Chain A
């Protein structure tokens, strides 16, 4: 049983285009049977926040390659990636490094 959690979900690098241009979302995750981890959070985001083109953000049960995830300003690889258990007041940041979000302008510069 997981109590409701309040977390801040932020998008950068152009990923915010898929979320109506809104970068920061303060969300309250409802209480549920399984504990909240990143995997469940992604499902929740896809259902509730993602406005369009889910395939540009999520691939399978993880994020698309090219999207970095920072949990409390630390690399999610250090924290277990999808299996990290969310705590109250955590801050999850998704930064897109894909060219489709105008990163580095690709070619010559």
Chain B
């Protein structure tokens, strides 16, 4: 099952396909209508049944998880693509239904303009933005359009892990819903004279005017040329497409969360579809993020503490989304992305996508199997972290560090067999004074091969370090040098151009930084070979402190 290639092509075509639904077949649900779409392996649905099935899935995912309380402010992350457009449309339809089944939260939309990262010209960006605003105005929710350049203006607070709000119990959810319904009943009785507007269901959702005047960052103020230039330089300094995608994702997440916090949204909804999450799961494994799969692909993601990211589209496959959008005219905007027209092997993400889709073509249960496996992932709390203060976190993805700092293996000099790597250690954050965070980057290597931790040939170097310095060492595990060029590649340079040898690609925060916190001789790395999916060239040391 894992092999996709010519070997399977011939046998597959010789045997007759297991079940080929024809047009003569009727819809499997209503047994009457003419089928228009085939879902899963062989279930043909007619147009109306498909619509009902699609909408039902969306509501069921929200209802099953019971995380969104009535009246809560929810930010919808809209990229313009089909999945997020479909999600926005579902929310729009869900809010306008008759009262019993109506969705009960207060939505807003955020849209990030990533044109600078993708190398779009200002005209192309303006054009895409105009199209998006047209749709945003049609939808009618309060909207926020933010340019990616604003990531340079983010306050240091985005890196602070806020206290996790206690998850509501079943009882709490039910109580909240009951009290909300009671409230509506009272309001309904009082305002009986204005029944038309009440029937519309707008009265309890007191959202501001659609132009969103309270947005302090006016969407009409474009980012300055200097900021755009800085962002382009940042992305140009990252050599591999894999790393660029991961960096873009990290910056995007920080920006969305900042918008959510600024405007009081407690939840963010993203349009990740089933197919995308299955691909993401496999890609994350290849990138060394196995420890965080449950957060990356689960329904809810609470790593940021006060703002919870939910994924209501996670049970819809891309095929269903595309069909629904076409059949029911859901507007979406196409904007070229970082890897548009990139060849298959340009990045790990693309490779994994091609692999999964090709496998799915021949074995139609691939995506659903991977998805179902991801559902079984449980978020295991780190020892002591549930009760006590949150431990040190990765700066980029905000996940808890899974490195055992006591058994840390810094690559020792002399391990390198080819080329040299340079470990550039980052700054000390003033935010968490007792546990400074560091970011290791291997800029020069990223353009070449994957770094890896070599077998230890000498005891770890004894550096004259302050004990507090080592306490919160490192980015998340993949940044240490596992098969994760993307993780290690993340560097944010604010303002200053990277020096020719990339030594200056150091993470800086606007607050303060003086020089490198951990001076030491540059350590060399043993370089692995090839992309992550083929691990024969990678040597994984049996590092005691690094979980597999």
Chain A residues close to B by CB (< 8 Å): 12-14, 16-18, 53, 55-56, 60, 65-66, 68, 70, 73-75, 77-80, 93, 95, 97-109
Known: A78-B22, A97-B319, A102-B334. A108 touches B361 (CB 8 A): no
- Please tell me which one of the listed residues B20, B249, B358 contacts residue A65 in the complex, with CB atoms under 8 A apart: B358
* Complex contact A75–B323 (CB within 8 A): yes
Considering the complex, give the chain B residue whose CB is closest to the CB of A98.
Answer: B353
For the complex, what is the distance from the CA of A65 to the CA of B359, rounded to whole Å? Answer: 9
Tell me the bound Cα distance from A81 to B256 in angstroms: 42
CA distance A74 to B273 in the complex (A): 22
Contact yes or no, A78 B276, CB < 8 A: no
Q: Is B360 at the interface (CB under 8 A from chain A)?
A: yes
The CA-CA distance from A107 to B248 in the complex, in Å, is: 9
Number of interface residues of B (CB under 8 A): 58
Contact between chains at A104 and B35 (CB < 8 Å):
no
Quick check: is B539 within 8 A (CB to CB) of the other chain?
no
B81 at interface (Cβ–Cβ under 8 A)? yes
How far does the alpha carbon of A68 sit from the alpha carbon of B280 in the complex, in Å? 21
Is the Cβ of A73 less than 8 Å from the Cβ of B322?
A: no
Given contacts A78-B44, A108-B249, 8 further A-B contacts (CB under 8 A): A74-B35, A78-B35, A98-B357, A102-B334, A104-B273, A108-B252, A108-B270, A109-B272
Q: A104-B81, A108-B252 are in contact. Are A17 and B336 (CB under 8 A)?
A: yes
Known A-B contacts A65-B357, A66-B353; A109 and B271 likewise in contact (beta carbons under 8 Å): yes
* Contact yes or no, B280 A75, CB < 8 A: no
* 5 closest A-B pairs by CB: A104-B83, A109-B270, A105-B79, A65-B357, A65-B361
User: In the complex, which residues of chain A have a beta carbon less than 8 angstroms from the beta carbon of B44?
Assistant: 75, 78
Does any Cβ of A come within 8 Å of B350's Cβ? yes
Residues of B near A13 (CB, < 8 A) are: 82, 322, 334
Q: Hey, what's the 0/1 contact readout for B317-330 against A, CB within 8 Å counting as 1? A: 01101110011000
Q: Distance in Å from the Cβ of A25 to the closest Cβ of chain B?
A: 17
Please provide the chain B residues from 315 to 374 with a CB less than 8 Å away from any CB of chain A in the complex. Answer: 318-319, 321-323, 326-327, 334-337, 339-343, 349-350, 353-354, 357-358, 360-361
Which residue in A53, A66, A107 is a CB contact (below 8 Å) of B341?
A53
Cβ contact of B326, chosen from A56, A78, A95, cutoff 8 A? A95
CA distance A53 to B350 in the complex (A): 16
User: Of A56, A97, A107, which one neighbours B322 at CB under 8 angstroms?
Assistant: A97
Is B357 a contact of A68 with CB atoms below 8 Å? no
Q: Which residues of B contact A (CB under 8 A)?
A: 9, 20-23, 25, 35-38, 44, 77-84, 245, 248-249, 252-253, 256, 270-273, 275-276, 279-280, 309, 318-319, 321-323, 326-327, 334-337, 339-343, 349-350, 353-354, 357-358, 360-361
Q: Across the interface, do A74 and B37 meet the contact criterion of CB distance under 8 Å?
A: yes
CB distance from A5 to the nearest CB of B (A): 20
Find out whether the CB atom of A100 lies under 8 angstroms from the CB atom of B36: no
Most interface-central of A80, A95, A101, A103 (chain B CB within 10 A):
A103
Contact A103 B81, beta carbon cutoff 8 Å: yes
Give the distance in Å from the alpha carbon of A84 to the alpha carbon of B36 in the complex.
Answer: 15
Q: Write the chain A residue with the least CB distance to B332.
A: A13
Bound together, the chains give a CA A73 to CA B322 distance in angstroms of 12
Contact A73 B326 (CB under 8 A): yes
CB distance from A78 to the nearest CB of B (A): 5
A64 to B364, CA, bound (A): 15
Q: Which residues does chain B contribute within 8 Å of A70, judged by CB atoms? A: 323, 326
Q: Which residue of B lies closest to A60 (CB)?
A: B9
* Closest-CB distance, B429 to chain A (whole angstroms): 23
Listed by A's residue number, 22 A-B pairs whose Cβ atoms lie within 8 Å are A13-B334, A16-B334, A18-B341, A65-B357, A70-B326, A73-B36, A74-B35, A74-B37, A75-B35, A77-B20, A77-B21, A80-B22, A97-B319, A102-B80, A103-B81, A105-B271, A106-B245, A107-B272, A108-B249, A109-B252, A109-B256, A109-B272
Q: Given the complex, which residues of B lie within 8 Å of A79, measured CB to CB?
A: 22-23
B279 CB → nearest A CB, Å: 8
Q: Report A89 CB to chain B, min CB distance, Å.
A: 17
Report the bound CA distance from A14 to B276 in whole Å.
Answer: 17
CB neighbours of A101 from chain B (8 A): 334, 337, 340
Residue of A nearest to B252 (CB): A108
CB distance from B383 to the nearest CB of A (A): 27
Query: Judging by beta carbons under 8 Å apart, are B309 and A108 in contact?
Result: yes
Q: Are A103's CB and B82's CB within 8 A?
A: yes
Residues of A within 8 A of B326 (CB): 12, 70, 73, 93, 95
Q: With A14-B334, A104-B84 in contact, do A75 and B275 touch (Cβ < 8 Å)? A: no
C-alpha spacing A53/B276, complex, angstroms: 24
CB distance from B221 to the nearest CB of A (A): 24
Chain A residues lying within 8 Å of B350, measured Cβ to Cβ, are 99-100
Q: How far is the CB of B314 from chain A (nearest CB, A)?
A: 11
For A93, the chain B residues whose CB sits under 8 A away are: 326
- Which residues of B lie under 8 Å from residue A16 when comparing CB positions? 334
CB-defined contacts of A77 to chain B, threshold 8 Å: 20-21, 38
* Contact, CB under 8 Å: B253 / A108: yes
Please report the C-alpha to C-alpha distance between residue A14 and residue B319 in the assembled complex, in whole angstroms.
Answer: 15
Tell me the complex Cα distance, A18–B334, Å: 14
A103 CA to B276 CA in the complex, in Å?
9
Contacting residues, chain A, for B342 (C-beta < 8 A): 100
Contact: B276 with A106, CB < 8 Å? yes
Query: In this complex, which of B80, B253, B276, B279 has the most chain A Cβ atoms within 10 angstroms of its Cβ?
Result: B276
Among the listed B9, B245, B341, which residue makes an inter-chain contact with A56, where contact means beta carbons less than 8 Å apart? B341
**Cβ contact within 8 Å between B323 and A104:** no
Could you tell me the distance in whole angstroms from the C-beta of B368 to the nearest C-beta in chain A? 16
Q: Which residues of B contact A109 (CB under 8 A)?
A: 77-79, 84, 252, 256, 270-272
Least distance between A69 CB and chain B CB atoms (Å): 11
A13, A60, A65 — most chain B CB neighbours (10 Å): A65
Give min CB distance, A109 to chain B, whole Å. Answer: 4
CA distance A14 to B81 in the complex (A): 10
Nearest CB of chain A from residue B516's CB, rounded to whole Å: 31
> Is B23 touching A78 in the complex (CB atoms < 8 A)?
yes
* Chain A nearest Cβ from B133, distance in angstroms: 18
